């Protein structure tokens, strides 16, 4: 099976200033993994129309799927919908089906100009249901545009799975080893990576409160037999290092 990839764009000045800590990337990655879609790249973007439009267009060409979070609310700086339309040369307008979603929560008299902004959808985009606050997200080509609020974003993912054509699921094995640092394993791990080009190796240090240290070495791949061979080679290498 082929490897299917996704790019994630986290949009909002508040992420870059540190006022808001992102959790959406992890939630999206965990959701996509079992579907056979791997995150290839993620970026945090400011509320800058040109940067958003250009990056959406670039990611759409680069990845099988793109996920954006943030910037589809009712305020003046919620510009993502317009940027998505601009990225693909589409018009954008208030859509009756999106308005109908909002009317399940609001009275028509409560839909002021700000709230009606959430019914502005790029031409031809399909709506993504939002069971929490009802304001829909939308899919434009291979780009899924979701809310930035984590609870709402997670709920919106439920309306995406059936739209995804996944590929091979990446499997992984984790091997912990104590009293070895990255400087000790760096050279041998590089050699293993050359010997097993279809498997990725990563080392992640840990430190114990009582003073001990070590590494968690993670190997990843889409072929179980190759993963097993690589794991055997890694264990032999670690035995040589630890004596």
Domains in the chain, CATH or no CATH each: 4-163 (3.40.980.10), 171-242 (3.30.70.600)
What pLDDT, on a 0 to 100 scale, did the predictor assign at position 207?
92
Task: Please list, in sequence order, all residues whose beta carbon lies within 8 angstroms of the beta carbon of residue 104, skipping any fewer than 6 positions away.
Answer: 134
What pLDDT, on a 0 to 100 scale, did the predictor assign at position 161?
94
d(CA 40, CA 7): 6
Per-residue pLDDT of the chain (243 residues; tens, 9 = 90+): 688 999 999 999 999 999 999 999 999 999 999 899 999 999 999 999 999 999 999 999 999 999 999 999 999 889 999 999 999 999 999 999 999 999 998 888 889 999 999 999 999 999 999 999 999 999 999 999 999 999 999 999 999 999 999 988 888 999 999 988 899 899 999 999 999 999 999 999 999 888 889 999 999 988 899 999 999 999 999 988 876
d(CA 201, CA 189): 7
d(CA 36, CA 4): 7
What pLDDT, on a 0 to 100 scale, did the predictor assign at position 243?
67
d(CA 161, CA 128): 11
User: Torsion over CA of 157, 158, 163 and 169, rounded to 10 degrees?
Assistant: 80
pTM, entire model: 0.84
What pLDDT, on a 0 to 100 scale, did the predictor assign at position 1?
67
What pLDDT, on a 0 to 100 scale, did the predictor assign at position 176?
92
| Polymer length in residues for the chain | 243
């Amino acid at each position: 099976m082929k490897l299917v990839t996704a790019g994630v764009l986290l949009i909002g000045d508040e992420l870059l200033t540190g006022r808001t800590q992102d959790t959406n990337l992890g939630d999206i990655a965990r959701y996509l993994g079992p579907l056979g879609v791997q995150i290839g790249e993620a970026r945090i973007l400011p509320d800058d129309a040109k940067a958003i439009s250009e990056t959406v267009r670039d990611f759409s060409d680069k990845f099988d799927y793109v996920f954006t979070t943030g910037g589809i609310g009712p305020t003046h700086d919620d510009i993502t919908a317009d940027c998505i339309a601009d990225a693909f040369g589409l018009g954008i307008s208030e859509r009756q089906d999106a308005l109908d979603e909002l009317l399940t929560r609001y009275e028509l008299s409560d839909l002021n100009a700000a709230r009606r902004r959430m019914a502005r959808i790029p031409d031809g985009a399909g709506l993504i249901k939002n069971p929490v606050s009802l304001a829909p997200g939308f899919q434009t080509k291979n780009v899924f545009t979701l809310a930035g609020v984590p609870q709402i974003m997670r709920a919106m993912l439920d309306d995406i799975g059936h739209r995804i054509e996944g590929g091979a699921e990446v499997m992984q094995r984790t091997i912990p080893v104590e009293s070895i640092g990255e400087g000790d394993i760096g050279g041998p791990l590089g050699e293993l990576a050359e010997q097993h080009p279809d498997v990725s190796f990563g080392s992640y240090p840990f430190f114990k409160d009582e003073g001990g240290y070590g590494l968690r070495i993670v190997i990843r791949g889409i072929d179980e037999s190759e993963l097993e061979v690589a794991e055997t080679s890694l264990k032999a290498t670690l035995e040589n290092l630890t004596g």
